[in-house]
Structure formats: structure tokens, C-alpha cells
Structure 1
Amino acid sequence: MATNERSFNGFQVNRSLLAGGAVLTGIGALFGTAGAVMVCAALATAGRDWVRRLDTPPTALAHRALHEAKVASSAGWEAWRAEHHSPN
């Protein structure tokens, strides 16, 4: 048995190979995290630029959609009341 191997009930582990794999896995995780941060930053920047270039701000679009939904709901309610002759 080599000096860098240890036996656990017949299971032999090459400690230097295990340590090297753990180090490479840690380095890979750091690079993966750094890459994910860079991708998120690029997408956030692109999204902010896209919103700034819009003709109508998203808040105005949301207010318009909410108003249209309220008008449609009111019209539907009025139509239902008229058909069912409900005073409410």
C-alpha cells in the first residue's frame, strides 16, 4: 500500500487524488458563481436599458390595464344585473 492511501475496511482511498479533486471542485464552484454573477449583472443592465427606451413606462401600462379591467368588470356586472333584473 502506498503512503498516500488509507484503508477503511478494505476501501482504499487515494488521499492526494481526493484532495486534488476537492480543490478543483472548489475552484470550479468559484468560477461558476462568478460566471452566474456576471450573467445576472449583464441581464439586469440590459433590462434597465430596455425599460428606459420604452415609449410608455411600465407603471403607465399597468395603470391603463387596471383601469381597463375595472371598466370591463363594471360593464359585466351591469349586464348581469340588467339581465337578472337585480336592483343591486
Structure 2
Amino acid sequence: MATNERFLSGFQVNRSLLAGGAVLTGIGALFGTAGAVMVCAALATAGRNWVRRLESPPTAMAQRALHEAKVASSAGWDAWRAEHHSPN
């Protein structure tokens, strides 16, 4: 029982097995992190290429959508005021 240690009234831990499991877990975590970094890099590259191929930049599209929303809101407000005969 050189590699095992007894404590808590008979609970045994095989230290070499525990150390081997910890090492393999660490190696697996490194591979998982490397894989996640590769996936993020691939998605970022694809996203940049997609934005470059757009006819207009995303900021122009957002400004146009905001303008359209303001116009629609104003039209709705004007229609509500006309329906309810409200001066405001």
C-alpha cells in the first residue's frame, strides 16, 4: 500500500491513478481551449469576409433602419392624434 493512503476510516485514494487523471484532464482542457480558439478564429474570419461583401456597411444599414423606425413612429403618432382629436 505504498501508493494508497488511508484516511476517514477506510477511504482509500490511489495517488498514481489520481495524478494520472489530473494530468489527462489538464491535457484535455488544453486541447479543448485550442479547439475553441480555432473555432472563434474561423468564425471571426468568415464574419469579416461577409461584412466586406455587403453592398453597404452595417452602420449605414443601421442608420437607415433607425430613420425608417422614426418615420413610422411619427406617422403612427400623427394618426393617433388625428383619431383622438388631440393637439399634442
TM-score band w.r.t. shorter chain: over 0.9
Please give the alpha-carbon distance, in whole angstroms, between the structure 2 residues aligned to 1:21 and 1:87: 76
* SS of equivalent residue, structure 1 residue 3: coil
- 2:17 corresponds to which residue? 17
Alpha carbon RMSD of aligned pairs, Å? Answer: 0.8
Equivalent pairs, count: 87
Please give the alpha-carbon distance, in whole angstroms, between the structure 2 residues aligned to 1:65 and 1:85: 30
Residue 73 (str. 1) matches residue 48 (str. 2):
no
Please give the alpha-carbon distance, in whole angstroms, between the structure 2 residues aligned to 1:58 and 1:37: 26
Q: Which runs of 5+ in 1 are unaligned?
A: none
1:57 CA drift (Å): 1.2
- 1:6 corresponds to which residue? 5
* SS of equivalent residue, structure 1 residue 87: coil
The letter for the 1-side match of 2:2 is: T
Please give the alpha-carbon distance, in whole angstroms, between the structure 2 residues aligned to 1:11 and 1:29: 28
Please give the alpha-carbon distance, in whole angstroms, between the structure 2 residues aligned to 1:13 and 1:82: 81
Q: Which runs of 5+ in 2 are unaligned?
A: none
Structure 2 counterparts to residues 1-88 of structure 1, below 5 A: 2-8=1-7, 9-88=9-88
Moved over 4 A (4+): none
1:87 CA drift (Å): 1.1
TM-score norm. by structure 1 comes to: 0.94
Identity %: 85
1:3 CA drift (Å): 1.1
1:56 CA drift (Å): 1.7
TM-score norm. by structure 2 comes to: 0.94
